[in-house]
Structure 1
Amino acid sequence: MYRFLFFFTLLCGSFINAQNKELLYDFTDIPQALLLNPGMQTDFQWYAGIPGVSGISFQAGSSGVTVNDLFAEDGIDFNQKVRERLIHGVSSRDDLSGTYQIELLSGGFRGRNPTNFYSFGIYNEGDAIGYWFKDYAILGFEGNADYIGDKFNLGHLKTRGEILNVFHFGINKKVNRELTLGGRAKIYSSAVNFSSTKNRGYYITEKGENNLLANTIDADMEFRSSGMEEIYRAFDEDRDRIPGILTKRLFFGGNLGVGVDFGFSYQLNAQTVVTGSVLDLGFIYNSSNVRNYTLKGQATVEGVEVVLPDAFAPNDTDFWKELVDKVEKLVPFNQNRQGYISFRPTKLYGSLRYNFGKALPSRENCGCDYRYASYRGVERYVNAVGAQLYAINRPRGPQAALTAFYMRRLGNSLALKTTYTIDKFSFSNIGLGLNVQAGPVNFYVMADNLLALENLADSHYTSFQLGLNIITWGKK
């Protein structure tokens, strides 16, 4: 069990990131922005992502301590920094959380009805969150000698994570000149899933009656997993099998699920646009390679109880074994292979954008058919400013971020977007995104929290995205 927990802890630690993609959201020049809002305003005739590099994103962050907080050469003893800045300085609501994403296939095309645009693809995603288990850390680092009568909260252990492939198909519909709606259907193929989010109970040491101290545990805990046992066994026996196991499970050989995205864009007037989207309303049914662990019950023990002079009589009594058996009977530790449903972390985006400056004509080929004359694309502008709101559902409640942005277009070949974001990771997150259109070749690169690049070890957050596409707008 402990080796298993150590494995999933390492796995969770490899996803030290956060999910907000504020630079990419509503960046209408980039096809991958459709993944954040299937109802985005589009003018592409078709596009094709370059496999493996059309959409790559990685973010890393921590709302608690930084590497520099613990390892800076500041003359303070390391153990003191661990105790003050980590053990006692970090809250049980602080976390390491987020996602990485790699597009394996992506494309889109405009239908015979030019008001419809269809997009499709496959991407690999990893998502995880781990909250700081504060009371566990205090108990493990300092023991309970100085905490007689204090309850250690077992509910501080909260973590979840997964690795999966997402197969998706979306429809973007221009209802009229003002309103664009979109939806996306998804099939999830999960390779790994784990969660332990509904733990309750406490551990307390008090003065005893038969001995000096009495220890009480009242626990209702569960750790659920799928896919991990097979990978862990391969890691122990034949590591060369791991890529094959992951590939099989990511391409419909693992646990399957379904989900949907919805989004819209509405032109309030010629220069003002409001948008919104909800992503990953879905679930996965985990029934393959499942291994769950539970700890449920209540027990109070006062150590080994020795009755004199009977204890000196010749017998085969093992006092320690009797103590262990007593605790395990009262607080049983069990395993099972029951399937379970895991819900995706649902995300919400919204924005208000005001366009100004010189108007650029729409690049959209509207077909010149009289039936669709009223659906022609809206004008694009050289400048845009606005605000964005982001939220994601997490085990300890929603996490939100607020972003202000400015966008600048230099003709049809270059566009820049800069953002200022406030969230639980940073109050000084300045980001910059660059989109280059060289003929049909589209390239974008984005980075967040630029002020922290001077000292990444002291940063709570960093983010990087890039992509490469082929785009055409057809003949006018």
Structure 2
Amino acid sequence: MKNKYASLILLGVMLLALPGFAQQELTLHLLDNVYQATHTNPAFRTRSNKINVTIFSSAHLSLRNSGFTYNQLAANIKEDETGQRIIDLQDVQDNLNLNGRDYVHASFNADLFALSFPAGKNRFSLNVTEHIQGRLHYDASILELATTGNAPGQTFQFGNYELNAIHFREFGIGWNRPFLEENKLTVGTRLKAVFGLGNIQTQYADVSLTTGTEQELYAITTNANVRANTSGVDMLEDDLEAYLFNLQNVGFGIDIGGTYELNNQISFSASVINLGMISWQEDAKAYTSEGEFTFTGVDNDDLLTEGFDIDIEQLTDSIADVFDLEEEEAQYTTGLPTQMYLTGNYQLARRTTASATLYSDFYRSFRRGFALGIRQNVGRWLQAAATYSVQNRSFNNLGAGLSLTTGPGGIQLYCATDNILALTSIGGARVANMRAGFNFVF
């Protein structure tokens, strides 16, 4: 059992830390001459290249923390009376503006293969894309308990801690086509066969701790009501090859998008990405814990007559029994990390376009972002973009993107980030991401 718990922790750390939920790419969204921009809207059509080929040459890495930055945490590191450096938890609690809905997010995805080509007015694409994403929700209750303790009769709720991490592989078939007079409307979609490799999710995790009255010294009641689902934990431990090529956890997904040119200056685009689900059947487990334990404490009067006598080993064993996880085989279903983009464009000059983008994704609640951007095209070989975005309670995100195409029969190089400042000062950033790679173009 200890090995299984160790594997469970290992998979969670891997899904959160490897190069986690839906990742917005607000700057890439403007580089519509790059095939990878179709990951944000399948209706986008590259103008300079008829055929695009990607082979293990495109990757995106994202890390976000809505509650604090590393520099904010490091500022609360002090020296104690012995000269040892410690974190002042009281200062952390006082200085961080945690709102109970904060989270850490990490994600990595890569195009293992992609092909995009025209056929008449239609444009088709094929892709194989690896996705690793994870999100951990947290709040300040644990800091409050550590720094101020429990007042008599007070209850601490620890129900805002949630983990959702997923590793899946996508096989997609895309299509888009212009419609209406002068091709004002373009509609696109991508159908996906999805295979889940690993997953950890907490369906619910309600844990509480209640102290007794002032007369009941050290009295404490703990309640636990926890259910977590996992898939791929044993496979990761026993057979890495079987884990990486597992095809038993089958799902589906769809991307839908469109663009519309109102006139020569104003256009719009909208998309919904990753509508779908995965059915987890292989190596699928459920872990539950439900129970209550009450330690009656020591009565004040008893201290005078009987002294202080507590069996600590029995106490800790009893508390551990409450949180002992029961394991059972259980198939379950999870949704894909769904995203939405809505963009308005205004053409300032022949090759210069200003834009405003609203972004949203959903995990237990809606999370939103907003970006202002400008895009500059130079011939058919160069496209550059810059953005300012508000996301994850962060207001200092300046993004930049660039694509350079050497010509038909050549290579298209590109990179994009939503926060270029994070590349120079990662410790002060709440948002850090980068998409980079190259495509063969013909």
Under a length normalisation based on structure 1, what TM-score does the superposition of the two structures give?
0.80
Aligned-partner Cα distance in 1 for 2:203–2:139: 12
The letter of the residue matching 1:189 is F
What amino acid sits opposite 2:397 in the alignment? N
Mapped pair 1:19 → 2:23? yes
| 1:88, distance to aligned residue in structure 2 (A) | 7.5
The residue that corresponds to 2:250 in the other structure is 256
2:105 corresponds, among 58, 78, 97, to 97
Is structure 2 residue 192 aligned with structure 1 residue 186? yes
Q: 2: distance between equivalents of 1:394 and 1:346?
A: 8
Code of the residue aligned with 1:24 in structure 2: it is: L
> How many residues in Structure 1 have an aligned counterpart in Structure 2?
420
**Mapped partners of 1:220, 1:155: distance in 2:** 9
Q: Does 1:342 align with 2:340?
A: no
Letter paired with 1:294: T
Within 5 A, what are the aligned runs for 1:74-223? 78-85=85-92, 89=96, 91=98, 92-111=100-119, 114-139=120-145, 141=146, 144=149, 146-176=150-180, 177-207=183-213, 212-223=217-228
Larger deviation, residues 93-102 vs 276-285: 93-102
Query: Which residue type is aligned with residue 436 of structure 1?
Result: L
Residue 156 of structure 1, CA deviation: 1.9
Structure with higher strand content: 2
Q: Which aligned pairs between 1:4-43 and structure 2 lie closer than 5 A?
A: 4=7, 6-14=9-17, 19-43=23-47
Please tell me the residue identity of whatever aligns with 1:301: F
Q: What are the ranges of 5 or more consecutive residues in structure 2 without an aligned counterpart?
A: 303-310
**Partner of residue 434 from structure 2, selected from 440, 464, 469:** 464
Q: In 2 relative to 1, CA 325–448 (structure 1 residues): closer, same or farther, beyond 3 Å?
A: closer
Code of the aligned partner of 2:403: N
SS at match of 1:398: strand
- Confirm or deny: 8 A CA contact 1:407 1:416 kept in the other structure: yes
Matched, 1:404 2:372: yes
| Distance change >3 Å, CA 186–CA 86, structure 1 → 2 | farther
Tell which deviates more after alignment, 284-293 or 321-330. Answer: 321-330
- Preserved contact between residue 389 and residue 418 of structure 2 (Cα < 8 Å): no
> Residues 53-104 of structure 1: CA distance to partner in whole angstroms, max 9, x if unpaired?
1x21112221223222333598666534444226973623221114211110
Tell me, yes or no, if the aligned pair for 1:134 and 1:156 is still in contact at 8 Å. Answer: no
Pick one of 285, 288, 304 that aligns with 2:282. Answer: 288
- Once the two structures are superposed, what CA deviation does each residue of 1:119-165 show, in whole Å capped at 9, x if it has no partner? 111011111100125334554x4594x44322221212111011111
Q: Which amino acid aligns with 2:345?
A: R
- Which residue pairs with 1:419 in the alignment? 387
Greater Rg over alpha carbons, structure: 1
C-alpha distance in 1 between matches for 2:370 and 2:362: 15
2-structure distance, mates of 1:62, 1:272 = 35
Residue 27 of structure 1 aligns to which amino acid in structure 2? L
Q: For 1:439, which of 407, 411, 416 is the aligned residue?
A: 407
Distance 1:167 1:304 in 2: 62
- Distance in 1 (alpha carbons) for counterparts of 2:54 and 2:18: 25
Counterpart CA distance in 1 for 2:147 and 2:252 is 46
CA RMSD of aligned residues (A): 3.1
Deviation at 1:303, TM superposition (A): 5.6
Query: Is the 8 Å Cα contact of residues 34 and 46 (structure 2) preserved in structure 1?
Result: no
2: distance between equivalents of 1:34 and 1:178? 18
Residue 166 and residue 129 in structure 1: after superposition, are their counterparts in 2 closer, same or farther (change >3 A)?
same
Per-residue deviation at 1:297? 3.4
Q: Which amino acid aligns with 1:116?
A: N
Secondary structure of 2:41's aligned partner? coil
- Residue of 355, 366, 371 corresponding to 1:386: 355
The match for 2:308 is none
Aligned partner of 2:108: which letter?
Answer: Y
Q: Please give the alpha-carbon distance, in whole angstroms, between the structure 2 residues aligned to 1:73 and 1:155.
A: 26
Letter in 2 for 1:288: E
Q: Structure 1, residues 321-346: CA drift from partner, whole Å, max 9, x if none?
A: 98789778888742211111011121
Structure 1 residues 333 and 14: CA distance shift in structure 2, 3 A: closer
Partner of 2:272: 278
Distance 1:99 1:64 in 2: 18
